[in-house]
Chain A
Amino acid sequence: MLSIKNLQARVEEKEILKGISLEIGAGEVHAIMGPNGSGKSTLASVLAGRGGYEVTSGSVSFNGKDLLDFSPEERAQEGVFLAFQYPVEIPGVSTTNFMRTAINEVRNYRGQDEIEPGDFLKMMKEKMQLVEIDQKLLSRSLNEGFSGGEKKRNEIFQMAMLEPKLGILDETDSGLDIDALRIVANGVNKLKTKDNAFIVITHYQRLLDYIVPDFVHVLYKGKIVKSGTKDLALELEEKGYDWIIKEVQAAAV
């Protein structure tokens, strides 16, 4: 589904991603871990098309199409979804109105008619339950005055509504208490099918207790330095990142 080859990217003059290669197939969950500043969020941003990042080398193919060639909205319409680490507050736009617009834009791109109001409401209700989010919250301005947990639940709610092929969760666990974490993780698990895939970016192993990854990759200084199964995450939890860093340094010498 997603094939990243030797991806290099920079912000202004600073090289952040220094050659990342990663293959993700349908039905898979990949966790990307790593210490702060290793390039995890940059990878998410580059995949979603955030401005300010310059891809200097490499390629990203998504279902056979060149992802880097698309605008952020086209990537979303193609089925890429980024759950933001810091969801943006937008006063004056309700989540409901926002979601209706987004869904219709995506449908329009796929050559479908606008969603029927009744179907939209039904869909809203169903997906709201998934992340235990309240109707009242959704009729308020998007994320405005939401708690950290409410914002993250809203991200997963939006993901549920848009039904992406590839969901990228950028530190969705940051700032969540254990209850909120469980709700968010449950939501993601219910969305998992054999046809979609997830990239779960996280600093801690905690989230991976709930969203069990098929593969774990460790990102360090802009490169994937180690890949493994979910056991790798447990090892990291136990020993920290230092041993991997040492391994990398030793290999370099």
Chain B
Amino acid sequence: METLIQTTLQNQFIAAWQQAPIDVMPALNAERTKGFEFFMEKGFPTLKDEEWKYTNIQSALKKNWVLNAHNNIEIDFNDIKQYIINQEEHHLLLLIDGKFYPEYSSKIPGAHICSLQEAYQVHHELFMQYFSKQLSTAFNAFTALNTALANEGLFIYVPKNTIINKPIEILNLNGFEEEDVFTHSRNLIIIESSAELSLLQHSHSFQENATFTNVVSECFVGAQGKLNYHTLQLENADSCTVNTVQIVQEKDSLCNTSSITLGGKMVRNDLNFRLVDKNCESHLYGLYLPAGKEHFDHHTFVDHASPNCYSNEFYKGIMMEQGTAVFNGKIIVREGAQKTNAFQSNKNILLSSEAKIDTKPQLEIFADDVKCSHGATVGQLDEEALFYLQSRGIGKDKAYALLVSAFAQDVLQQIALTTYKTYLENLIEHKLKSMFKD
């Protein structure tokens, strides 16, 4: 049965590949063929694959997924409004099942924003210069498949010296189709030298039905450029996401990321940094709260390929009920990347005996004049702290929720967008309340 369903899905991929109009983005054909052949040869990973050892992707694939054909969807904006965090303080870009809907999106002065296919036409040279350039050396099944089959997605180009002051809220709403769809979507974000951009990308399920989203975002930050990239996953308990973000930083650039995972059956976030020139600074913050039968997996990879760069990573996890999570943080300091400062910390608390975390920090250093540290902790809530709160009259459930929120605070306080931060605090409080109520 398992094999049959997967064969069905694989047959859909093959059919899509064979039917793909070669004239959609013809200059990509060689790259796409490479991706497709990679996938056909390797297939989806199993638990034997070191990078997927603790995330059973085979079980997430075990469903009658229908490959998304990206039909145009009639949208009533009133149905969407409730998902928007703040339309006054943020620009809005709307993606429905991975497809960009410009008619419901803001016009953003200074930035060039369009769909992937339009970018291929309008910004062809730029597009070809960047598309898949950093991925293809290290394809995995999902990025390979995405490269082969993704025709939809978002393109953001911020030219040299342009500063986009207002944060851009990218709203991903999934599950508009009748069936449980498997979607590929691809985003390309180019920030040229001395340009600045803040993104706030959040994904939700629009309906009850399940979705499987395989999204790849490639970000390029030019010399002295600045990118803030916040992501939030909040999908329903049947939906799966594999989200790969590849960030390449040029000289003197700065990148702040936060990755918050609050909902989904299986969420896998791969966040890869390549620091290709001197004096780059990268901050990676993350927070995950799986409950029920949710499984959240965060893989990060910081590639210090140049000297004098700084990276700081701080991820925290709160596992409740039967929730499980994976943290795998890899740092490589390449030969010649002297004066590297690379720090990583992962802290977890387990709130039930059935909750689980697999955490694995990895540090590989090939330079001799560097400062690096990493560490991971797994614990329970401090009983003495709990008693302290109770002894002031605070009920046990509320005390629990207060302590858990407090545990999350030092990640949240790194988020400079106050409206977004408050939004997150409310979501977390809500999730905790539903956990601890009798």
Partners in one complex: yes
Binding site for B on A (CB under 8 A): 48-51, 71-73, 75-77, 81-82, 84, 87-88, 90-93, 98-99, 101-103, 105-106, 109, 141, 158, 162
Task: Report which residue of A50, A99, A103 has the largest number of chain B beta carbons within 10 angstroms of its beta carbon.
Answer: A50
Give complex CA distance A82, B390 in Å: 11
Q: Which residues of A contact B394 (CB under 8 A)?
A: 73, 76, 101-102, 105
Pairwise interchain contact A88-B395, C-beta atoms closer than 8 A:
no
Given contacts A51-B387, A84-B388, contact A77 B393 (CB under 8 A): yes
Answer yes or no: B391 CB below 8 A from chain A CBs: yes
Contact of B392 among A49, A51, A91, A102 (CB under 8 A): A102
| Chain A neighbourhood of B390, CB < 8 A | 49, 71-73, 76
Q: How far is the CA of A99 from the CA of B393 in the complex (A)?
A: 10
5 extra A-B contacts, CB within 8 A, seeds A50-B391, A90-B385, A103-B393? A84-B391, A91-B406, A98-B389, A105-B394, A141-B406
Given the contacts A73-B396, A88-B384, A90-B385, A48 and B406 also touching, CB distance less than 8 Å: no
The residues of A that contact B387 with a CB separation of less than 8 Å are 49-51, 72
CA of A48 to CA of B409, assembled, Å: 29
In the complex, what residue of chain A is closest to B405 when comparing beta carbons? A92
Contact in complex: B396, A71 (CB < 8 Å) = yes
Bound together, the chains give a CA A103 to CA B384 distance in angstroms of: 20
Instruction: For chain B, residues 359 to 400, give those with C-beta under 8 angstroms from any C-beta of chain A.
Output: 382-385, 387-396, 398-399
Q: Is the CB of B405 within 8 A of A48?
A: no
A105 touches B388 (CB 8 A): no
Residues of A within 8 Å of B234, CB to CB, are none
- Does B403 sit at the interface, judged by CB under 8 A? yes
Q: Tell me which of B383, B392, B399, B409 contacts A92 (CB under 8 A).
A: B409
16 A-B pairs with CB atoms under 8 Å apart are A50-B391, A71-B396, A73-B390, A73-B393, A73-B394, A73-B395, A76-B393, A77-B393, A87-B388, A90-B385, A90-B403, A92-B408, A98-B402, A102-B389, A105-B394, A105-B395
Closest to B412 in A: A92
**Selected contact of B385 from candidates A48, A73, A88, A109, CB within 8 Å:** A88
B429 at the interface (CB under 8 A from A): no
| Contact yes or no, A72 B383, CB < 8 A | no
B301 contacts A by Cβ under 8 Å: no
Contact indicator B402/A93 (Cβ below 8 Å): yes
Contacting residues, chain B, for A103 (C-beta < 8 A): 393
Partner of A105, one of B384, B393, B407: B393
Kindly state the separation between the CA atoms of A103 and B398 in the bound complex, as whole angstroms. Answer: 13
Chain B residue, CB-CB nearest to A88: B388
Task: Give A161's nearest chain B residue, CB to CB.
Answer: B392
Do B391 and A91 touch across chains, with their CB atoms under 8 A apart? no
A90 to B389, CA, bound (A): 10
CA–CA, A198 and B253, complex, Å: 61
Is the CB–CB distance between B409 and A88 below 8 Å? no
Looking at the assembled complex, report how far the CB atom of B310 sits from the nearest CB atom of chain A, in whole angstroms: 24
Choose among A49, A90, A92, A99 the residue that contacts B391 (Cβ–Cβ < 8 A). Answer: A49
Pair B391/A48 contact, Cβ less than 8 Å: yes
Q: 0/1 per residue, B112-127, Cβ < 8 Å to A?
A: 0000000000000000
Q: Is the pair A102, B393 in contact by a Cβ cutoff of 8 Å?
A: yes
Q: Which residue of A lies closest to B407 (CB)?
A: A92
Assuming A50-B387, A98-B389, is B395 touching A91 (CB within 8 A)?
Answer: no
B positions within 8 Å CB-CB of A: 382-385, 387-396, 398-399, 402-403, 405-410
* A76 and B391 in contact, given A88-B384, A91-B409 (Cβ under 8 angstroms): yes
Chain B residues, CB < 8 A from A141: 406
The distance from the CB of A15 to the nearest CB of chain B, in whole angstroms, is: 22
From B382, B385, B398, B409, give the contact of A101 (CB < 8 A): B398
Do B388 and A106 touch (CB < 8 A)? no
Beta-carbon contact of B391 and A93 below 8 Å: no
Tell me, in angstroms, the Cα distance from A182 to B133 when the chains sit together. Answer: 70
For B401, the closest partner residue in chain A by CB is A101
A75: chain B residues within 8 A (beta carbon): 391
CB-CB nearest 5 A-B residue pairs: A92-B406, A92-B409, A76-B393, A72-B390, A102-B392
Chain A min CB distance to B433 (Å): 14
> Does the CB pair B405–A72 fall under 8 Å?
no
Task: Report the bound CA distance from A76 to B388 in whole Å.
Answer: 11
Are the C-beta atoms of B410 and A92 separated by less than 8 Å? yes
- Cα(A76)–Cα(B395), bound, Å: 10
Given contacts A84-B388, A87-B388, contact A101 B402 (CB under 8 A): yes
In the bound complex, residues from chain B placing their C-beta under 8 Å from that of A73 are 390-391, 393-396, 399
Cα A72 to Cα B409 in complex, Å, equals 26
Cross-chain contact A162 with B393 (CB below 8 angstroms): yes
B413 closest partner in A (C-beta): A92
Q: Using Cβ atoms and an 8 Å threshold, which residues of chain B touch A106?
A: 393
Bound form: Cα–Cα A71–B389 in Å: 12
* Candidate in B388, B392, B402 with the most chain A CB atoms within 10 angstroms: B392
Chain B contacts of A158 at CB under 8 A?
A: 392
Q: Are B388 and A91 in contact (CB under 8 A)?
A: no
Closest to A80 in B: B391
Q: Contact between A51 and B389 (Cβ–Cβ < 8 Å)? A: no
- Return B435 CB to nearest CB of chain A, in Å: 18
Q: Which of B388, B391, B408, B409 has the most CB of A within 10 A?
A: B391
Pair A90/B406 contact, Cβ less than 8 Å: yes
In whole angstroms, what is the CA distance A185 to B395 when docked? 29
**Whole-angstrom distance between the alpha carbons of A87 and B382 in the complex?**
13
Measured between alpha carbons, how far is A146 from B377 in the docked complex, in Å? 25
The residue of chain A having its C-beta at the shortest distance from the C-beta of B384 within the complex is A88
Which residue on chain B has the smallest CB distance to residue A109? B393
Rounded to whole angstroms, the CA-CA distance of A93 and B425 in the bound complex is 13
Q: How far is the CA of A171 from the CA of B349 in the complex (A)?
A: 32
Task: Return the chain B residue nearest A102 by Cβ.
Answer: B392
